[in-house]
Amino acid sequence: MLQILTKDGATTTNLGDEVARGAVITDKGEMLFPNPNPPMLDAGKAAKPKEEAKDEGPVDLFAPTMRTALYQAMTLSSIVGLGVLCPTNPAFHNMLTTFSLAVVAGYQSVWGVKPALHTPLMSITNAISGVTAVGGLLILGGGYLPHTIP
């Protein structure tokens, strides 16, 4: 402090310095007390303007409810439509059931994953896509070396 305010044993007033300027009350008979540029002690504490609750009047729920209902109607009837288009193959219906339930299970379990673990999620889905090897195995042909190329 003294080093800032003195020079060669005599007091100086360097008004450009933040510390010296805050300590000065008068200089050469001039009242300088309220420092016009005080150091920023409470930066970031500026009060946020309060958000006023908006009064939007009574809400009309008809349109959004109708939209949800129409989406659901389309989804459900498209399942029936699939059944009409593929009537003969029972394997398809079994697989469709498996597929739909698996999508629901996958959707739910993925939303449960923490954001911090999204990179491991990428790796693990990459890893389990290795079961594509099963697809290859199921149609594997030939002997010690493949030779059943048509």
Partner 1 sequence: MFRRPNDPKEYNYLYGIPGAAAIGGLLAAHSAGVPNIYQCGYLFSSLCCIGGIGGLASQNTARVGNALGMTGVAGGVVTALASLGLPAPLMTQALGLLGGASAVGWYVGSRVAVTELPQTVAAFHALVGVAATATSIASFMTEPDPDSLHRVACYLGSGIGAITVTGSVAAFLKLSGRLKKGYDLPFKNVLNRPLFAANLAGLAAVVTSPSHAVGLAAVCGTAAASATLGWNITNSIGSADMPVAITVLNSYSGWALCAEGFMLNNPMLTIVGSLIGSSGAILSKIMCDAMNRRIDNVIFGSYAELDGEMAAITGTHTETSVSEVADALANSKDVIVVPGYGLAVARA
Stretch of 16-24, 26-34, 45-53, 105-113 lying at the interface with partner 1 (CB under 8 A): 105-113
Nearest approach, Cβ of residue 116 and partner 1 (Å) = 7
By beta-carbon proximity to partner 1, the closer residue of 10 and 139 is 139
Q: Distances from the Cα of 6 to the Cαs of 18, 20, 76, in angstroms?
A: 15, 10, 86
> CB–CB of 24/15 below 8 Å?
yes
Q: Hey, how many other C-beta atoms are within 10 angstroms of the C-beta on 24?
A: 17
Among 29, 36, 44, 136, binds partner 1 (CB under 8 A): 136
Interaction between residue 115 and partner 1 (CB under 8 A): yes
Shortest Å, Cβ 13 to partner 1:
26
Which span (19-27, 43-51, 63-71, 131-139) binds partner 1, by CB under 8 A?
Answer: 131-139
Question: Is 38 one of the binding residues for partner 1 (CB under 8 A)?
Answer: no
Minimum Å gap between C-beta 31 and partner 1 is: 32
Reduced 3-state DSSP string for 35-91: CCCCCCCCCCCCCCCCCCCCCCCCCCCHHHHHHHHHHHHHHHHHHHHHHHHCCCCHH
DSSP code of 27?
A: E
Cα 34 to Cα 49: distance, rounded to the nearest angstrom: 27
List residues near partner 1 by CB under 8 A.
Answer: 86, 88-89, 91-92, 94-95, 98-99, 102-103, 105-107, 109-146, 150
